[in-house]
Structures are given as structure tokens and as C-alpha cells.
Amino acid sequence: MQASRLLSIMLRLQAQGQVTAHALAEMLEVSVRTIYRDIDALSAAGVPVYAEKGRQGGFALLAGYRTRLTGLDRPEAQSLFLAGAPFAAEQLGMKTALDNTRYKLLAALPDAAREEAERVAARFHLDPVAWFQGPDQQGLLPELAAAVWQRRMLLLRYESWKGAMERRVAPLGLVLKSGFWYLVAAHGEQARTYRVAAIEMLRIEDEQAVPPEGFNLQRYWQHFCTDYEARMQSGRASVRARPAALRELARLSQRMAAAVASAGARDRQGWQRLQIPIESIEGAVGELLRLGPQVQALGPPALVDALRQRLAELQESYGLALQS
């Protein structure tokens, strides 16, 4: 365990330069005291690691020192072909670079580890695009990636639900979710999310982009997803459903699954009452009609009225069709 941790410390110092003991402790989930002991062990083994004192201090490797890849354990070798997201790399224009990196890593591995990596490549395939959807057209993605990497200001023209808009933003990161790319960028001090396929034009400017203080892309995206799903299902409806409908409802979203899990006890007729999240009356009508007689809306009144109206329209439509 210590040997693996020492290698991790050495690789992090090599990749990141100067790193504090506290940061290393958080990365490796150990105490700061353990990090100091590990640094002493690295020094005793001949690794030229030194400490910089003061508030901005930390540990670093002697300039120019590089460690060679000393080998991967079995899980690391197996994960080699699961890392890098080939789909994302291809859309970013980096497929050739990713392939070359893999070939170089494979060449550096011993035979046993190389066989493990190639076995995973032959038996697992990652497809991030949802069913019945194709990936967005991403013609501007490589340019956006360059702007994100270089921290350059962007002028965007994009199509929003309010219509075409232009906005000057500081790019903060790119996110791939379910086959769709999103640009996270700051407008003023506020981070916002833009679907890349909706960007019609962009111009990369010379001015350097400064991210908001303390911004973290992973934390932002997690918060954005939670907030977005809550906003998109901010309404509530009261229904009663049979087991078959409950199973179908639970597959729609995590929030719906949580609502199904808290459903009341089954009555003598096999119905269970529950409150479900809905985006809109129109959207709920479509979802509930799809489940047929296995679910019945109890409220709000606007939803019940909309369902009755839709059923009457369907009955009239099919009645006319049968007469003709």
C-alpha cells in the first residue's frame, strides 16, 4: 500500500509541480503526518524531492527530474482502454493523439499487463449516446476546446429558447452528457451552460479569460444537473397507480423513482396513491396516457380536465375514423 502511495505522490509532483502536504493528503485520503513520512521515504530512496516553506510552500521534485512508467497493476492495466472516452476524443479532434498515447503506453507495459489491457478493449465498448438519438453536430467543438484550453474570451451567437442571442463569455470547461456537449462559461461573474449544438458562430478573442474565484467544473456541473432536474419537474400531481404503472414511472427519472418508492400502501383493488413530479400539464398528459388504465390522475384539477379533454378528442377522432 505504501509503495503504491509513494508512486502516486511522485507522479503527482511530476505532473503538477509544487503541491502542499495538505493537498496531497486530501488526494490520497491519508493524514498530513503520513504524507511527511512518505516524503522522507522518497528522499531516502534517492528521489530528489524538496520542500518550500511558507504560506505558498509545498513539495516539489528537482527541476528536470522525470520518473519512468514503472508498471501498472492489474486493475490499472484493465482500465487503460476504458479511459480517455474515444467518442469524446474523436469529436474534439484528438482521436489520433489518443490512439498514439495508447500505443505508447502499451509498448511500455510488460506482456501480462498489455494482455490485460487488450482483453478489456476486446470485451467492453463505451457508447455514451442515448437510445433513439444521434450525437449532436459538433463542427465548432475543436475551436471551443482550444478556447477553453487557452483561456481566451469568446464571442458567441447561439439559439436559445428566447431566440438568437450574442454574448461575450469566459470559457470554463466542456461537458459531455448523454451524447450532447455543453460549454460552461462565465458571463460576468456568473457561470452559465450553453448547448454546443445551439452555437451558430464563435470568435476567439485575444483577451485572456479569468475564471470566477474558486470555480470547480465538477462541482458546478453536479449542482447544475440537480437544479435543472428540479426546475424541469417543479410541478406536482396526485395519482393512483397499479404495480405495472409504478414500474414504468420509476424508469422515467431519479425524482420519479423516489416518488414511487414513497408510494402509499396498496388498497384492496391494487391501487397505490403517490405524489409525482411533473414538468407541465401537457407533458404529464402524454406520460399518463401512455400508461393507459394502469394509472389515474387525481389532481390537480387542471391535469384531470386536460386528460378528459384529450380522451374525448381521441374518442371523437377514432369514432369518425370508424364511420368513414
Taking only the tens place, the pLDDT of each residue in 48-96 is 888 887 666 788 888 777 665 555 555 555 555 555 566 676 777 766 6
CATH number for the region 2-61 comes to 1.10.10.10
- Long-range (24+ apart) CB contacts under 8 A made by 15-18 are 17/60, 18/52, 18/57, 18/58, 18/59, 18/60
Q: Looking at the chain, which residues constitute the CATH 1.10.10.10 domain(s)?
A: 2-61
- Where along the chain do the CATH 2.30.30.100 domains lie? 141-227
Quote the CA–CA distance of 175 and 179 in Å, as a whole number.
Answer: 10
At 161, the pLDDT band (50, 70, 90 cuts) reads confident
238 to 28, 126, 309: CA distances (angstroms): 47, 39, 18
CATH T-level fold of 141-227: SH3 type barrels. (2.30.30)
pTM: 0.60
- Express each pLDDT in 109-158 by its tens digit: 666 666 766 776 677 677 777 776 666 666 788 888 889 888 999 999 98
Q: Please name which of 312, 288, 291, 310 lies closest in space to residue 299, comparing C-alpha atoms.
A: 288
